[in-house]
A and B are shown apart, each in its own frame.
Chain A
Amino acid sequence: MAPKKPATAAGPASSSATSTSTSSTRQLDKIALNIVQHYQKTTPQRTKLLDTFMAFLVIVGGIQFAYCVLAGNYPFNAFLSGFSATVGQFVLTASLRIQTTEANKSEFPSVSPERSFV
């Protein structure tokens, strides 16, 4: 129900690249294509704006994590604060996105879709 674009970008790509080889590769490609199509079709323009922001957060978080792995975590609290800021921002934006999605209206009756944009 909940569309989460950044994961679409990262998740299946990595798993398909690593774990499968022959016929299932084609199948996974198809799945990925389906997901992308579905996303394009059902997501309102304004929600896509949120998704862009989330994608940005994933990239920033990814860079920080890569730095931590490659160059060491010397100022550990600096890394931690930076990383948890992106993660926290990501999940909070995701929550907002979930709440405002039309498909989830039944779960969040009191939340108006305008909440994130007013």
Chain B
Amino acid sequence: MSQALANNRLDSDTQFYRIRLPSPLPSKGQQTLGISFYYLNALKPLPASIEQADKQYLVYSFSAYCPSAYPTLKQKTEVKLPSSDAPEYTKIAGNGETKEFPVKQGSKLTYGPFPEVSAGASSPVKVRYEFNKPVTHVSQLERDIEVSHWGGNVAFEERYTLLHYGANLSSQFSRVKWAQSQYFSPQTFALKEMKFILGAGSKDAYFTDVIGNVSTSRFRVSKREAVLELKPRYPVFGGWKYPFTVGWNADSNNYLKKADGKFLLNIPLIEGPKQAEGVEYEQVDVRVILPEGAENVKFYTTAPESSITSHSVDLVRTYLDTVGRTVLTIKAQNLVDELRDRELLVSYEYSTAAALRKPVVIFTSTMAVFVSMWLLSKLNVSFSTK
């Protein structure tokens, strides 16, 4: 049970959280706490620009000590790198039998164990390591989920503003080299493919960008899952940008349950691309568009509470609406790939009268048009000539 403290400032380096233990800790008692948190924008390429065929190296700066508001008796920091190729890392004086830290074992670097460290102490260290994969950053994700009771359909659409935060190209892009490297050494730090794993029963997937459909996508459906494989129009290198849109439909039975007059919608909060190297999301706007006339909207999400910045319920008018559809907007920030299974539960009430509103409105307005046309045709506006 953790809770962000009210006096936290988002722009400050340190954030404080209050952790409430399920039962008070007795004197001299022990309790193990696992705290996991993610950093965004923590990796910097070094060198900042490289040749197209070169390997990319990233630098991660952190403190060898765990940030803590209490004195720490014993601690150790392990850094697990994606590869054993770590040409540079900060060495600090060791203690005990090890002369200097870190101790390198394969792709793992270990700082510590350290003796007692005072509260708030830090020891800045840097690790530079090979990471020949894209550093994918989504600066903005707009995710729309539209629920249709008449069609028995849930439509998803996601608009990504995707950037590559890795190393830039030191000289211009060369198609010859790219074609050759594709052939001989496919591993590259350019982003050339993304894989979306969608829920079972998803269909009609599309992948477009601002100038139309991108023909280099594949959509494979199996019993258990549906996979949308995308290739951007061009390989995305460091410093390049590729905004795009994906969307698909799904049967509402998979997501929507009805229980005593209430509807419960259970959808993943984000369903971004599943990449081995991970994706980070800076700003995520999830809009759940409920049917016209849905009331009493409540939501609950298993994603970290601290990442949800705001939420609101509004009306939006589309497709021959009269009063407008209920829209739940949830704004979140700083999400990562690992949170892609977190659920978003939305409950709402939707009466039969509301469901019948649209057909009735359309029918009566069409009839009104016909009747008024008929009346007009009966009207005699000609001069009588006698």
Contact = CB atoms under 8 A, between A and B. Distances in A.
Interface in B338-386: 383, 385
Interface in A87-118: 112, 114, 118
Contacts of B385: 112, 114
Please classify the interface of chain B as helix (H, G, I), strand (E, B), loop, or mixed, using the class held by over half of its residues. loop
Interface of B: 383, 385
Contacts of A118: 383
Contacts of A112: 383, 385
A112 B382 CA distance: 12
A102 to B, nearest CB: 15
Q: Which 5 A-B pairs have the closest CB atoms?
A: A112-B385, A118-B383, A112-B383, A114-B385, A114-B383
A3 B383 CA distance: 27
5 contacts: A112-B383, A112-B385, A114-B383, A114-B385, A118-B383
Contacts of B383: 112, 114, 118
A67 B383 CA distance: 43
B110 to A, nearest CB: 86
Nearest to A118: B383
A118 B383 CA distance: 10
A86 to B, nearest CB: 29
A70 B230 CA distance: 74
A44 to B, nearest CB: 18
A114 B385 CA distance: 8
A116 B115 CA distance: 111
B385 to A, nearest CB: 5
A113 B20 CA distance: 98
A118 B384 CA distance: 11
Nearest to A111: B385
